[in-house]
Structure 1
Amino acid sequence: MRATRVVANLRVADIEAAKGFYTGFLGLSTEEFNMGWVARYTSPETGANLQLVTRDATAPEDSVISVHTDDIEGAYEEARELGYEIVHPITTEAWGPRRFFVRAPDGTVLNVVNHQD
């Protein structure tokens, strides 16, 4: 698999209550999207970003990072062939991206995603 971008998923109780710190103090002032349960904030100057997540809308567990890839099907097959636990099967979500969750050997859950244009 080839990762094209990695974004931290930070668990928060309330996105609206938390975003002021991340947009103001950290300078992640551009809200790329906000779906109520997940929102991505980016610095227009540096491109640094993170996602605030209250609880994943469709997966049984939350992920700690989102790993973007151009070949989601290949990544899914590779994860299965290597025997990694698939936490959330490959799915085209109602809001657009195709993704799956995989558990790393250390227990960390990753959201592997492709945003189809």
Structure 2
Amino acid sequence: MAIKRIVANIATPSVEQTRDFYIALFDLDVAMDMGWIATLSGTAKTPVQISIAREGGSGTAVPDLSIEVEDVDAIHARAKKLELAIEYPLTDEPWGVRRFYLRDPTGKLLNILSH
């Protein structure tokens, strides 16, 4: 059986605030908005992946979501412009990714990275 997609669901009392955070930081599009749920999407076709970990690497906590972007430096600059608190600094990791951590409005820990 082929998996067609896996969707990350983020519980929040403020769908609008959380939706706007992801749109502002990642330029996502609103695919659906019913008020009580909003689904955001990008244009890239991506493989289905689930990571199972006991740590996030380099002694960090396991992130709730890992979001791979084309240009992590540009997203990092945008996060700073939006005055978002960076929880793990922009780092070149020994396994070949450049990444940083921040939290979304619901407290989810985001690992934002580029290979």
Change (3 A) 1:59 1:108: farther
Runs of 4 or more off by more than 2 Å in structure 1?
59-62
Change (3 A) 1:106 1:2: closer
Shift of 1:105: 1.5
Identity %: 26
Counterpart in the other structure of 1:25: none
Q: What do the CA deviations read for 1:20-50 (whole angstroms, capped 9, x no partner)?
A: xxxxxxxxxxxxxxxxxxxxxxxxxxx4221
Change (3 A) 1:74 1:68: same
**Superposition map of 1:11-90 within 5 A:** 47-90=47-90
**Superposition map of 1:96-111 within 5 A:** 96-111=96-111
Q: Distance in 2 between matches of 1:103 and 1:59?
A: 17
Aligned length: 74
Please report the TM-score for the alignment, with normalisation by the length of structure 1.
0.56
Aligned-partner residue type, residue 92 of structure 1: D
Shift of 1:57: 2.2
Alpha-carbon contact 1:60-1:87 (below 8 Å) kept:
no
Change (3 A) 1:59 1:104: farther
Change (3 A) 1:99 1:59: farther
SS at match of 1:52: coil
Shift of 1:59: 4.9
Q: Distance in 1 between matches of 2:54 and 2:61?
A: 11
Counterpart in the other structure of 2:114: 114
Gaps of 5+ in 2: 1-24, 28-46
Gaps of 5+ in 1: 4-46
SS at match of 2:111: strand
Please report the TM-score for the alignment, with normalisation by the length of structure 2.
0.57
- Name the Cα RMSD after superposition: 2.2
